[in-house]
Structure 1
């Protein structure tokens, strides 16, 4: 049995993101000496500073636990949460209430279960959805600004319930939550690489940390041992930037796809927890974002720009100039259909997505996309057809058919909801689309209280908790848009209550 005298040790000098770096080798007891000398002690240590980590920190601190430490691997706080699109599913949000829209956590969960295709956990989704308003109010009370009057129906949802931050990024949330956490006495540290959990039998009692680590060099910094009296919360997000691990888990991942994630999303902490007996589930379910553009790297502007296209415009194949999907469906459906567009040599035939330029000439999403040349202004159907090598007659026919469906408010081809679709006429804003690896559905299995389940007895491991994308088995095959923000923020409320219950604070 590994304990505080015998723990895992990473090999030095291996690049982060490779499986070799994230699966450590056993060290001898001589590496620690007769007993670990703790460099410092805290009640709770949270690994990660995204939505889940910051919400957990604030809620745990407010619950009465005195010493809360947040460790962030990278130089910047916020992780993937800071660069996400700022969409937040909130059933019962103030805009719905003001407009008389009837919604509920149960209706959200119903949509999520349908998207999960039989693999989602209704119990976990319900626990999360029930804290949506708490999470929203935490943001508002912390100074987060949401777009006035904005409440959108996004892909896979049956009702408009997604609010969005003013700048269209999750950074509006993470920046403000960071300020609140710091002002309320949470100890937040960056450049802290967690090398291992220190165990006493099946109980987590602390962490081995490389302090002042400089990504990605594992030889930098100094090793310290930090004791956790009441528990460790894993809020490290997914592992989508660990391409070697993703390929091992899901060999079917298309190599032509980019990734939207921040560089630090490589999953070392998840793998280390697994090496200590934590149960991981759905690790091969790696979701793509169908709103990616091949004309920019990483997350980019395409997510924001295409939020217009999905509602108002249309998508056509460059192979035949015709529509081929329901633009308002969930991510898996759309990604699968986009990826099917191939030339005879199997190379990508990037579909084009477009909407009316004159409806959004000063919209920051349009201005940025045109400036960075990930989209183009096309003054005629002929110009668009020439640029993308499409038969102009067929393209015009597809637009005419779309306009007919707009007038009828019915799409007999793909059953798209046409409530926001617009009559299309040039000039157009046109972009190419191709999915990008985006979100890990798999991770550490938890109970409803965010306690990590052990693989040996399928019971909660003592003092080990997980929230957000670091967990698995929640959404099933597909996570709906705007639900990552909800899951991370809501998890902070749930885990704070659990930790207090476990420690009888």
Structure 2
């Protein structure tokens, strides 16, 4: 072969190689979510994301569900991380998007800039629907109301304004005060009664509560807990109960995992099994009344479209409080001003209270807003070490001095902390915690 033919062969070989597509490549990236690292494995083909696998995460599986489904799908569809995260799961969304970006950087792939539209097309859901019962708010109370109504034969729908269900119930510790429970009996706590529970509740609320309503709660606490365990499937610890501040006995049942995730996952599964439609991203805006003044439905909005949900049997308003609405909090309790963060879920903004008021409801005791004593001073998120005080941990100030009874009410402890130098405290315990 002469020199010319060798050069020709080399050129042809180079042309052939340049015409073959590069093989897909998979790289891993890590971002920081709300509860730790989020690791992903991203597959790229010709500079496009074709697949994302979530390798590691410790996020709340209910709250972050759409991060790893809907948001993930949007990233693949748009080939971009410059898109909106999931409302109510901000930190999880950011951690996931940062992880994908890190994987792209490692692969040498430049992702697309912010796309013009990242929303899915509106569904063909009917804009006028009729049910026996409409429940507003898909937290623990809303799910309980929907499940119970359905079990009685009612046709039910559950509306939730946020992209995910759960609300405050999901992110709470979800302990449940119950007098005379099977766990108390396991621990030989045999002197607790609904009457004692009611006394503690009224005293702990400075006797502002309605005794008849308190009685309904305390008398029905045990059958409700048994319903949660036996019908809904909630698992409680069988060998431990908490004694919260203001209570004279250890009576708070503890769910598996010490968070409301146990409640909401079980409620969600049961609602699905029972055929209860749970419509997220649906914000109730107005209660509909008939000529006699009876509430017979709800007007709502989703993605700019108006919907009407007629309710032959009634509307259940289970939308929680307004702790995430700083302006509303300050309006009703000026002492809780801009200095305070919130432990509430992002959707706890209180508009439905005004909706009820416009329909003729009366708002009462709005100024009684609880502050939680042990939280992250930057984000406001509850610090789980707070529960250590129920097992014997103490609070000390900057001088190392104990300054409050740790089993006092939350408002008492909060005020005591704010009165210390620097307005903060430390939680202190040793290996004997839980043995005191």
Q: Which residue of 2 aligns with 1:41?
A: 130
Q: Trace 1:377-396 onto structure 2 (pairs within 5 A).
A: none
Instruction: Choose which of 359, 364, 377 in structure 2 pairs with 1:276.
Output: 359
Q: Is the 8 A contact 1:313 1:421 kept in 2?
A: no
Tell me by how many angstroms 1:421 deviates. 7.2
Q: Deviations over 1:359-399 (max 9, x none)?
A: 57xxxxxxxxxxxxxxxxxxxxxxxxxxxxxxxxxxxxxxx
Q: Distance in 1 between matches of 2:254 and 2:196?
A: 20
Tell me by how many angstroms 1:38 deviates. 7.3
TM-score of the two chains, using structure 1 as the length reference: 0.59
Tell me by how many angstroms 1:228 deviates. 0.8
Q: Which residue of 1 aligns with 2:273?
A: 183
Residues 1:330 and 2:406 are matched in the alignment: no
Root-mean-square deviation over aligned CA pairs: 2.0
Q: Trace 1:82-481 onto structure 2 (pairs within 5 A).
A: 82-100=170-188, 101-141=190-230, 142-201=232-291, 202-211=293-302, 220-294=303-377, 297-300=379-382, 302=383, 304-318=384-398, 320-342=399-421, 348-356=422-430, 358-359=431-432, 422=436
Q: Is the 8 A contact 1:210 1:222 kept in 2?
A: yes
Task: Count residues in correspondence.
Answer: 309
Q: Distance in 2 between matches of 1:349 and 1:224?
A: 48
What 5-or-longer segments of structure 1 have no aligned partner?
1-15, 17-36, 212-219, 343-347, 361-419, 423-505
Q: Is the 8 A contact 1:139 1:177 kept in 2?
A: no
Q: Is the 8 A contact 2:395 2:403 kept in 1?
A: yes
Q: Is the 8 A contact 2:243 2:390 kept in 1?
A: no
Q: Secondary structure at the match of 1:286?
A: coil
Structure with greater contact order relative to length (CA < 8 Å, sep ≥ 6): 1
Q: Is the 8 A contact 1:206 1:228 kept in 2?
A: yes
Tell me by how many angstroms 1:191 deviates. 0.8
Q: Is the 8 A contact 1:109 1:129 kept in 2?
A: yes
Tell me by how many angstroms 1:340 deviates. 1.5
Q: Which residue of 2 aligns with 1:55?
A: 144
Tell me by how many angstroms 1:196 deviates. 0.9
Q: Deviations over 1:178-236 (max 9, x none)?
A: 2112211222111111111112242112111113xxxxxxxx33101121111000000
TM-score of the two chains, using structure 2 as the length reference: 0.67
Q: Distance in 1 between matches of 2:195 and 2:236?
A: 24
Tell me by how many angstroms 1:245 deviates. 0.9
Q: Distance in 2 between matches of 1:307 and 1:59?
A: 32
Q: Is the 8 A contact 1:315 1:324 kept in 2?
A: yes
Q: Distance in 1 between matches of 2:432 and 2:376?
A: 22
What 5-or-longer segments of structure 2 have no aligned partner?
1-86, 88-125
Q: Is the 8 A contact 2:186 2:239 kept in 1?
A: no
Structure number with bigger Rg = 2
Tell me by how many angstroms 1:86 deviates. 2.2
Tell me by how many angstroms 1:149 deviates. 0.6
**Cα distance 1:63–1:184, how it changes in 2: closer, same or farther (>3 A)?**
same
Q: Distance in 1 between matches of 2:374 and 2:178?
A: 22
Q: Secondary structure at the match of 2:339?
A: coil
